[in-house]
Amino acid sequence: MTHIKRISELQVVIGHEVTLNGWLYKNRPSGKVQFLMLRDGSGLCQCVIEKDKLPEDLFGQIKHLGQESSLSITGLVRQEPRSPGGVELAVTAVEIHTPAVDYPITPKEHGVDFLLKNRHLHLRSQKPWCIGRIRHTVIDAIRRFFNDNGFTLIDTPIFTTIAGEGEQTLFEVDYFGQPLHLTQTGQLYLESAAMSFGKVYCFGPTFRAEKSKTRRHLTEFWMVEPEVAYIDLPGLLDLAEEFVFSIVQRVLKDNHDELETLGADIAALEATQTPFVRLSYSEVVDILTSDRTQKFMAAQLEQFQGQKRMMEQELAQIEAADAKGGLKKWQQEKNARRLQKIRSELVELQVKIDNNPKHARLAADFCWGKDLGGSDETIISLMHARPVFVTHYPKAAKAFYMKADTEDDRVVENFDLLAPAGFGEIIGGSVREDDYEKLLARIDEEGYNPDSYQWYLDLRKYGSVPHGGFGLGVERTVAWITGEKHIRQCIAFPRLMDKVYL
């Protein structure tokens, strides 16, 4: 009797006959044998069809099946080290469900805009599939970490009455005539829950009307936020460190194949060991304005220019080979793919080359008091192989709820965590102001209406305690781990400031 199996389960049924339900990923006919690459959502499997094993008309029909045709394939599972997953199927029967004709996403290179417009189909391709699987692991690791460490999940509201992270990025909604906002953070609600449960977290979609078209910003993203009663800044850093380390370990364990397919820097992830680097904002300012940074930037520029020369050489070689002619069709196609890849990498490299002097100048001119910019974070995170905590930012650069440092009133007890390799901020967090009067004064300074914050102030009236927490952005974390440059690839249906595709 044949059993329906998923491709990911085939290793344990070698020698048995099974049926796979899936879609045609690639079709390579070669005379009397056809090699079908089937995907079923759990992986890819090579299926080998010998002509005399199937009725002749069916064999002919399969030869002309288009990419993404849906089919069930039955066959014997056998070991094949050269096949993905180490097994292949020796086919005995094929059932075609729906043939697909002219599937728009082909193995050639497509532009970003085209792929985002076709996101509903592109999700089936290897890259989004690998990223989707890793995102799934990241989210599961997040939940497990908090559930295993005594945290209670609190679902905070999406319609909110107050701003947490600055009014300029609020999305307003008309709530039966009353203006409300989509949540920017669950933190303020979570603080009240922390006074009931001690250790809590929320995890959900978060909305920010960010008017910036950077690779780090979405208007809708997922954020997980823990909040803990009776915790100080060193305690928060320890928690964040253990948490991020556990996520990376889980992905390394569960998604090695996906990381490899994506070309992620696995060695760098393995080097993400604790303790992470800990720097204060003032130390970062000293680094940014030092000679060391100028030398670092000059070395970077030299490296980019070297890479550019090498790519230009390769480009010229391929173009010359193409011009000479006489190439087989598959060689021409391979060259076309490579050329497109080099050209898009050259564009990116040129942006880095053009930006380098600007960013070096911004760093040199950095004045104490400003928030760190994207390029400043990039420099600091490029200088370190491990994630970097930056603590104690100037009060004026940060949110109203952050607690002023008891030793230096100009700074707050907060931190950002910068991922390595130039990736930048993935976590923001702080100890919260727990003094009623001081918090009220900050709300006044920001020009917020204290009436709206009355319930939040109440927490400082009835049994106030030192407490704090942080927020980690899921898409930024996935982008860092997978080595994906733009976070729009790290969510199934991205929402960007200038475009919502589908």
Binding site for Mg ion (CB under 5 A): 428
Give 215-240 as a DSSP string. TT--SEEEEEEEEEES--HHHHHHHH
- Specify the residue, 171 or 436, whose C-beta has the smaller distance to ligand 4AD: 171
Binding site for ligand 4AD (CB under 6 A): 164-165, 185, 187, 208, 210, 217-218, 221, 223, 225, 425-430, 469-473, 475-476, 487
Picking from 416, 423, 421, the residue whose alpha carbon sits closest to that of residue 385 is 421
Residue nearest to Mg ion (CB): 428
| Beta pairing partners, 95 | 72
Smallest distance from the beta carbon of 83 to ligand 4AD, in angstroms?
38
Query: What is the distance of C-alpha 441 from the center of its chain?
Result: 38
Smallest distance from the beta carbon of 467 to Mg ion, in angstroms?
19
Query: Which of ligand 4AD, Mg ion, none does residue 187 bind (CB under 5 to 8 Å by kind)?
Result: ligand 4AD
Peptide bond into 179 cis (omega under 30): no
Query: Which of ligand 4AD, Mg ion, none does residue 475 bind (CB under 5 to 8 Å by kind)?
Result: ligand 4AD
- Specify the residue, 218 or 459, whose C-beta has the smaller distance to ligand 4AD: 218
Q: Tokens 């204290």 appear where?
A: 450
- Specify the residue, 387 or 429, whose C-beta has the smaller distance to ligand 4AD: 429
Smallest distance from the beta carbon of 173 to Mg ion, in angstroms?
24
Compute CA distances 21 → 5, 38, 73, 129, 244, whole Å.
8, 9, 7, 17, 37
- Specify the residue, 425 or 433, whose C-beta has the smaller distance to Mg ion: 425
User: What values do phi and psi take at 242, rounded to 5?
Assistant: -65, -40
Smallest distance from the beta carbon of 399 to Mg ion, in angstroms?
9
- Specify the residue, 51 or 438, whose C-beta has the smaller distance to ligand 4AD: 438
Query: Which of Mg ion, ligand 4AD, none does residue 470 bind (CB under 5 to 8 Å by kind)?
Result: ligand 4AD
Smallest distance from the beta carbon of 404 to Mg ion, in angstroms?
18
Smallest distance from the beta carbon of 88 to ligand 4AD, in angstroms?
41
- Report the alpha-carbon distance of residue 468 to residue 461 in Å, rounded: 17
- Specify the residue, 87 or 224, whose C-beta has the smaller distance to ligand 4AD: 224
Are 304 and 352 in contact, with CB atoms under 8 Å apart?
yes
- Report the alpha-carbon distance of residue 221 to residue 273 in Å, rounded: 27
- Report the alpha-carbon distance of residue 412 to residue 391 in Å, rounded: 8
- Report the alpha-carbon distance of residue 403 to residue 191 in Å, rounded: 14
Smallest distance from the beta carbon of 334 to ligand 4AD, in angstroms?
36
- Specify the residue, 297 or 491, whose C-beta has the smaller distance to ligand 4AD: 491
Smallest distance from the beta carbon of 352 to ligand 4AD, in angstroms?
22
- The length of the chain is 502
- Specify the residue, 71 or 487, whose C-beta has the smaller distance to ligand 4AD: 487
Smallest distance from the beta carbon of 416 to Mg ion, in angstroms?
6
Query: Which of ligand 4AD, Mg ion, none does residue 476 bind (CB under 5 to 8 Å by kind)?
Result: ligand 4AD
- Specify the residue, 130 or 399, whose C-beta has the smaller distance to ligand 4AD: 399
User: What values do phi and psi take at 203, rounded to 5?
Assistant: -150, 110
Query: Which of ligand 4AD, Mg ion, none does residue 287 bind (CB under 5 to 8 Å by kind)?
Result: none
Peptide bond into 275 cis (omega under 30): yes
**Angle, vertex CA 405, rays to CA 404 and CA 407, nearest 5:** 135
Q: 281-288 and 374-382 helices cross at what angle (nearest 10)?
A: 90
Are 499 and 445 in contact, with CB atoms under 8 Å apart?
no
- Specify the residue, 40 or 425, whose C-beta has the smaller distance to ligand 4AD: 425
Smallest distance from the beta carbon of 417 to ligand 4AD, in angstroms?
7
- DSSP single-letter state for residue 450: T
- Report the alpha-carbon distance of residue 259 to residue 98 in Å, rounded: 32
Q: Show the tokens assigned to 417.
A: 């965590």
Give 259-278 as a DSSP string. HHHHT--HHHHHT-PSSPEE
